[in-house]
């Protein structure tokens, strides 16, 4: 018995030694090149993983590390390539303003089973072509035509709230998430899925399930590894959900292609009401290198639009409502602004797109909410070459995390960052309005293409 125990212990020790040697081999080159970058000392094999054992405090842990080591700093977790965390305005400007650093970091590969090579995950020539194709779909003239879609679906949500108010406390986020899902499906897919009325449909449940699975994987060190993840229950449920989502998206694409062909055959033009739903049509009519986009490319972009648009927008709206509820004086100012605009309008009971542009205080409230609670608190890039910044080197293949949450809570840029102060976005306040300082939608050539539609939602 003792012999077997010693044999097991010796085997475990040998494996640990091999793992440690491999970890040192993988990381030595990076640590040597990044010797001028500060950061917490890593443990063999684990790296700095123990700092993030409480995942609920992930962002606060990064804030504490930023406070201790400044920006940029480096961390490493397990056998992954090291991360460089950036959260200062100067480095952010240098990095985001460049057309060279647009490749997403390796963890974005988690999304490929659902989003394929859509705008979020693609890079290089394909990303540039698709970005150019999609940009017109988010022009103000097109977004303006969506107001009735927004208003109709908001009224459905408000009616559901009226059934809840006065009975018990309730979380607004699930309601708002179904609202944004309805709006995006109707504006992007020309399809009414009625998620707010039937939130148990296969499509709605699959979208929500995929969001949870992807979040779980992003926060689980073990599930980062494909060899482990592919044998997990998460992977099985993900494949099933993707199949359901793709089935609906494919059927919508097929139906719309047939409608367009029939219109050409009968020489019938779309009515003005139909033409406002331009996103899917734009993809169907677009060309890349002289050829129409494939159905798979179109599906990838539609799925990307769904993923990026509905959950992040719902988060921003929910936090805005929370902030307003906690500050009665802010709520009063918003109501006064709305009444002023309404009284000088057409008295139809409906706000126009021009009216929205006059809601400066409400816009400041939304911007301050996005500063405090950015829907995407960090985003990643991959160094495709060695990057020299001042006296620091970031080696090729390093994952670079742009810590928007940390930048947006920098007291030098935003005094009293823990306080909700919409006034900081009123008037010409250069720091608050600098595109590389205020980054809830990222900045530069790879910023969020749908940021204006998100503003319209809110």
Q: Which residues contribute to the annotated binding site for heme?
A: 448
Q: Burial letters for 306-315: b for 16+ Cβ neighbours within 10 Å, e otherwise?
A: bbbbbbbbbb
Phi, psi of 360 (to 5 degrees): -70, -40
Separation in Å, CA 148 to CA 313, 451, 456: 18, 19, 12
**Residue 239: its H or E element:** helix 233-266
Residue 201 bridge partners (DSSP): none
Q: How far apart are alpha carbons 435 and 446 in whole angstroms?
A: 13
Tell whether the torsion through CA atoms of 452, 381, 113 and 221 is positive or negative. Answer: negative
Give the number of other Cβ atoms within 10 Å of residue 358's Cβ.
17
Q: Report the phi/psi class of residue 251: left, alpha or beta, with left for phi > 0 and alpha for psi in -120 to 50.
A: alpha
Strand ranges across the sheet with 379-382: 73-75, 83-86, 399-402, 379-382
d(CA 225, CA 230): 9
Residue 283 buriedness (CB in 10 A; 0-12 / 13-18 / 19+) = buried
From 156, 155, 149, select the one nearest 183 (Cα to Cα): 149
How is residue 6 written in tokens?
């010693």
Residues 429 and 423: their CA atoms lie apart, in Å, by: 10
**Binding site members:** 448
78 φ/ψ sector (left φ>0, alpha ψ -120 to 50, else beta) = left
The Cα–Cα gap between 24 and 44 comes to 7
Encoded tokens for 254: 């097929």
- Number of CB atoms found within 10 A of residue 68's CB: 11
* Tokens, residue 220: 């689980």
């Amino acid at each position: 018995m003792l012999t077997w125990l010693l044999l097991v212990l010796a085997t475990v020790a040998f494996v640990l030694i091999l793992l440690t040697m491999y970890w040192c081999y993988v990381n030595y080159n990076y640590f040597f090149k990044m010797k001028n970058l500060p950061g917490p000392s890593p443990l063999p094999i684990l790296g700095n993983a123990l700092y993030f054992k409480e995942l609920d405090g992930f962002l606060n842990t990064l804030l504490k590390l930023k406070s201790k080591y400044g920006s940029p700093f480096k961390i490493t977790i397990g056998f992954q390539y090291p991360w460089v965390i950036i959260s200062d305005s100067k480095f952010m400007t240098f990095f985001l303003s460049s057309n060279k650093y647009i490749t997403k970091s390796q963890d974005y590969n988690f999304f490929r089973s659902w989003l394929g090579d859509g705008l979020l995950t693609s890079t290089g020539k394909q990303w540039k072509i698709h970005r150019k194709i999609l940009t017109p779909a988010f022009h103000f003239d097109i977004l303006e035509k969506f107001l009735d879609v927004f208003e109709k679906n908001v009224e459905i949500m408000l009616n559901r709230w009226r059934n809840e108010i006065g009975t018990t406390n309730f979380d607004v986020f699930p309601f708002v998430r179904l609202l944004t899902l309805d709006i995006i499906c109707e504006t992007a897919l020309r399809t009414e899925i009625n998620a707010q009325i039937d939130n148990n449909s296969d499509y709605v449940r699959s979208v929500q399930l995929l969001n949870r699975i992807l979040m779980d994987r992003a926060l689980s060190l073990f599930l980062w590894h494909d060899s482990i993840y592919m044998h997990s229950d998460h992977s099985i449920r993900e494949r099933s959900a993707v199949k359901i989502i793709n089935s609906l998206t494919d059927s919508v694409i097929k139906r719309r292609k047939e409608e367009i062909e029939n219109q050409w055959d009968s020489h019938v033009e779309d009515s003005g009401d139909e033409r406002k739903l331009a996103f899917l049509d734009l993809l169907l009519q677009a060309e890349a290198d002289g050829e129409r986009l494939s159905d798979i490319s179109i599906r990838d972009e539609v799925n990307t639009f769904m993923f990026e648009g509905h959950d992040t927008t719902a988060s921003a709206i929910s936090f805005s409502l929370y902030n307003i509820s906690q500050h009665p004086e802010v709520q009063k100012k918003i109501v006064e602004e709305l009444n002023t605009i309404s009284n000088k309008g057409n008295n139809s009971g409906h706000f126009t797109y021009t009216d929205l542009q006059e809601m400066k205080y409400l816009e400041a409230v939304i911007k301050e909410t996005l500063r405090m609670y950015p829907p995407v608190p960090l985003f990643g890039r991959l160094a495709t070459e060695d990057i020299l910044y001042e006296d620091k080197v970031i080696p090729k293949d390093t994952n670079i995390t742009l810590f928007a949450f940390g930048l947006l809570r920098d007291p030098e840029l935003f005094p009293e960052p823990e306080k909700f102060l919409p006034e900081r976005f009123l008037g010409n306040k250069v720091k608050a309005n600098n595109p590389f300082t205020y980054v809830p939608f990222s900045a530069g050539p790879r910023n969020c293409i749908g940021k204006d539609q998100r503003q319209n939602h809110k």
